[in-house]
Amino acid sequence: MCMRLKLAKVKWFSGLFCLIALLTLAGCSEERRTKVVDYPIGKPFMYGNKVVLKGTGTKDELKKLSTDLNNYWDDSARVRKEQRFLLWYRIKNPPIYDSLNIIRSVNFMNAYLNSQGYYYASFKDSIHKDSIGDQIRVNATITINQGKNISIDSVGYQLDDSTLQQLAKQRMGESDIKKGSPYSKQLISAELDRMIGIYRRNGYYKLIREDLYAEIDTTDISLIELTLDPFKQAELIAASARKRRQNPTWNVTIKKRPTTDSSKLTQFKVANIYYYPETKITDVIDSLTTAKGFKEEQHADNYMRFQVGKFKYQPLKEHTFLSKGELFNEESYFKTMNTLGQIGAWQQVDGKIIERDKDSLDLYFYLVPALKQNFTVDLEGSRNTGDIGAGNLFGISTNLSYKNRNVWKRAIQSITNFRTGVELNLNLGNNNSNQQLVQTFNISAGHTFAFPKIIQPFKNWKALSTVDNKRTLLSFNAAYVDRKDYYKLRSILGSWGYEWKKVQRRSDDTWLFKPINVELYSLDTLPGLDTLFLKNPFLRNSFNTGNIYSQSLSYTKTINAANRKSHFIRLGLEETGLIFGLFKGLRNDIYRYIKVEAEYRQTKKWEKSEMAYRAFGGMGYNYGNYPGNKEISTLPFFKQFAVGGPYSMRAWGLRQLGLGSSNTYDSILTSSFRDRYGDMVLEFNAEYRFTMATIAGVKIGSALYSDIGNIWNLKKDPSDPKASFSLSNLANDLAIGVGTGLRLDFNYFLIRLDFAYKVKDPMRTVNGGWMSIKNFNWTDIRSNGREVSNYALQLGIGLPF
C-alpha cells in the first residue's frame, strides 16, 4: 500500500511538472517559438502580416471578414508559417519585402470587399522592421475601415418573354434577394443560377447562364430632377454622396440578353430513352450510340441495348424520373443518373442528350457495372482501462463480409456477414485467482437483401415518389454470446423495413421504418449470475428471457451550413407488444415496452481545429408483464443502455458507470462481473480537436474534452432508490470526466488514444463526488474494499462522435 501511494505521488508531481512546463512554453511569445530558415541575409523579408478591421458589424461578421481578407495578401507578401509540434512554428524561404506587393495586396482586398458589397472602404498600411542578428524582419499590417455594406432596395424581372416572365414571378418567393438584403456578387450570381435552374426544369434546354444578366441601378432619383440653379444642383450632388455613404442602396433587375437564336426560347420535350447497362469503362460513349451488334429490348418508348443480358429492365425504369412527352427537366435528368449510380449495381453512370426534332430530345444513359461480388475481412480492436479489478479489457473481433450487387439481375444488393470476437481480461490474477483470460465470447451471422425500391402490399404511397434512394430491407441474424460463468445468450432476429432519403440543398433526411421486427431470445443464467441474484435481487429484473415483436421508426437529418458548421439529428422510436400483445396466445411470451432515443451533434471547423458537441438521451418504459414474472419492471438487458468505454464517458471502463448514485454494485458485488445497464440515459460531450503536426502524410492531432452523463432505472425500487431517476437528484447523479488524447489520422482511418480523469464520480463518498485538488488521488477504495482507478486509458478506432 505504501509503495502504491509513493507511486501515485511520483505520478502526481511528474504530471504537475509537465503541466507547468507546457504552460510556460505557451506563455512565451509566438516570435520566440518561431524559427526562420533559408532567409535572404542582409535583406528585409516578410516575417508577419496582419489585417485589422476598424469598421462596424457583428462579432461573427467581422471575424469571417478578417479571415477571408487574410487570404488576399499578394503571394509575394504572404508569410507561410508552418506549425510544428503544437507550440513551435517555422518559416521557410520568406519572400523579400517590396512595397509594391503591399499595394497589390490592398487592391486584391478592395476587390474582395467590392464583391461583398463594400464599395466605400478605406485602407492604411503600416510597416515595422526588426533586426535580429543577420535577419531583417518585416511585419506588415493593413488597417481597413470597410464602411457600410450596400443593401438592395428593390429587385425586379424584365425578361422580354411572357413565359419566362411568368415563371420568374411564380417562383419569386424562393429568391434570396429581398429588400434590405446585403448586396454581394455571390448573391447576384446565386440568383442567376436559380433562374436558369427554373427554366431548365421547364424545358428550356438551350437557355444558359450567359443568357441572363443582372442590371444594377445606383442612380439617386433626386438627381434626375431638373434645376437651373447650379448651387442647388451642387447641394443635391453632395447630399446624394452623403446618403450613399450613410445608407447605400442599389436596385437589381434580372434581364435576358438579346439573341438571334430562337431555339433558346423553345421548350423541349422528352422523346425516346436509351439504356446501355453493360457499358465498359473503356468504351467511347459517342461511338456506342451508332455501334452495331447490340441486342435491343423495347419497353413502350424506352430501349435497353446490351450484349450479354446481365440486367433486367425493371430497375432502370423504376429509377428514371423522366418519361416521353413531358417537358425536359434537367434536374430530373441528373437525378436519374445519380440515383442509378447510388443503387450499387453500377459504378459509373454517364448521360448524353441528342436533339431529335426542333423541340424533342433523345436521352441516352451509359451504365458501367460495378464488380458484382466481393469479399472483405475486417479486424477491429479496442482497449479500455477504467477499473483495476476488472476494467482492464482488450477486445478483438473479426468481421467477414460477402456482397453480391446484382442478385437475380435486378440490381438487388445481398450482404452476408459473419462476425466473431472475444473480450480479454488483461488483469488476470491481480485480485481474483479465479478470473479467466477470455471474459466474453460472441459469434454472429447475418444476411440482408436490399431491394432498390419500396415493396408495398397495398396501393403505392404517392408521397414516396419525391424521395431518393428508396430501399426495402429484409434481414436475418443469429447470434450467440457467452459471458464466462455468468450467462449464455442466444438470439434469432428477422425484420422487414423501408429506407428512403430526401436530399435538399444543404441537408439530407433519412428515414428507416420497420413495420415487422421479430427477435427470439434464449438466456441461460450460470452459477456466477445466480449467486449475484441472491446478493442483489433487483439485478434479476434485467436478466430475463422472452421474445420481441416490434415496430420501429428512426429519422436522421444532416445539415451542412454555410458557416462551416454541421449538424446531425437522430430520433428513434421502438414499440413492442402493443399489437401482438392483444393475442392471448402470445401475451405471456413477449415483452411489452416503448423505447425512445434522441441525439444531436454539432461540429464547427476552422483551418486546423474544430469544436464538436453531442447530446444524447434515451428512455425505455415497460408497460407490460415480463414472461414468467409479473413483478419485473425494467427492459431486458440487451435493450437497456450502458455507458463508459472508448466512445462514451471515457473516464470509466466499458459498462462501469451507474446506476445513478447507487453504490449497490460496489458494496455487494465482489466478483469480476460489474456490468451496469439502465432504462434511461443522459449524456453530454464537448470536444476541442486540433492538428499538431503532419509527418509523412499522417496528421497527428490531439483533443481536449469533457463527458457528462449517467444511466438510471426508470421505475423506483424501494431497495435501491438511488438507482432510479429523480430530477431533484440529477446534479448528484451526473458523472463528469475530462481528458485529452492523441489521434493519428491516416485519412482512410483514425487511431485514437484517450486519457480521461473522473472529475466528479457519483460513487465517491466524500466531497459530494468531486475530485479534491488538495488530496489528489489516482485511485479510490470502494466500500467493499475494492480499488478502482480515477482515470481510464481508452484505445479506439475513429472519432468518438
Q: For 87-91, 290-294, 548-552, 568-572, which range has the lowest pLDDT when averaged over its residues? A: 87-91
Peptide bond connecting 19 to the previous residue in cis, omega within 30 degrees of 0: no
Quote the pLDDT of residue 331. Answer: 94
Other CB atoms within a 10 A radius of the CB of residue 209 amount to 13
- CB-CB contact of 41 with 134 (8 Å): yes
| Burial class of 138 by CB neighbour count within 10 A (0 to 12, 13 to 18, 19+) | buried
Average the pLDDT over 442-466 and give the result. 84
Separation between Cα atoms, residue 538 and residue 720, nearest integer Å:
8
Q: What does the pLDDT look like over 388-429, one tens digit per residue?
A: 333 455 678 889 999 999 999 999 999 999 999 888 776 555
- CB-CB contact of 645 with 607 (8 Å): no
Quote the pLDDT of residue 386. Answer: 46
Separation between Cα atoms, residue 278 and residue 310, nearest integer Å:
7
The secondary structure of residue 73, as a DSSP letter, is S
Separation between Cα atoms, residue 469 and residue 335, nearest integer Å:
10
Q: What does the pLDDT look like over 326-381, one tens digit per residue?
A: 999 999 999 999 999 999 999 999 999 999 888 999 999 999 999 999 999 887 76
Nearest to 792 by CA among 735, 748, 753, 752: 753
Average the pLDDT over 706-715 and give the result. 93
Whether the model pTM is above 0.85: no
Q: What does the pLDDT look like over 130-187, one tens digit per residue?
A: 998 889 999 999 999 998 888 888 888 999 889 999 999 999 888 988 888 888 888 9
DSSP string, 539-593: GGGTS---EEEEEEEEEEEEEE-TTSEEEEEEEEEEEESTTGGGSHHHHTTB--E
- According to DSSP H, which parts of 584-680 are helical? 584-587, 664-668
Please give the residue that has the higher pLDDT: either 320 or 393. Answer: 320
Q: Does the pLDDT of residue 434 top 50, yes or no?
A: yes
142 is written with which cell numbers?
A: 493593413
Q: What are phi and psi of 701, to 5 degrees?
A: -130, 175
Quote the pLDDT of residue 428. Answer: 53
Q: Does the pLDDT of residue 431 top 90, yes or no?
A: no
Average the pLDDT over 240-245 and give the result. 56
Quote the pLDDT of residue 70. Answer: 92
State in Å, rounded, how far the first CA of the chain is from the last one.
39
Average the pLDDT over 225-229 and give the result. 50
Q: Which residue has the cell 481480461?
A: 425
The secondary structure of residue 96, as a DSSP letter, is B
- According to DSSP H, which parts of 379-526 are helical? none
Q: What does the pLDDT look like over 565-614, one tens digit per residue?
A: 899 999 999 999 887 777 776 767 788 899 999 999 999 998 789 999 99
Q: What's the Rg (C-alpha) of the chain? A: 34
Q: Does the pLDDT of residue 305 top 50, yes or no?
A: yes
pLDDT-based confidence at residue 385 (cuts at 50, 70, 90): low
Quote the pLDDT of residue 86. Answer: 56
Separation between Cα atoms, residue 332 and residue 201, nearest integer Å:
8
Other CB atoms within a 10 A radius of the CB of residue 259 amount to 12
- CB-CB contact of 748 with 727 (8 Å): no
Please give the residue that has the higher pLDDT: either 137 or 765. Answer: 137
- CB-CB contact of 329 with 201 (8 Å): yes
- CB-CB contact of 514 with 495 (8 Å): yes
Q: How far is CA 177 from the centre of its chain?
A: 30
Q: Does the pLDDT of residue 249 top 70, yes or no?
A: yes
Q: Does the pLDDT of residue 718 top 50, yes or no?
A: yes
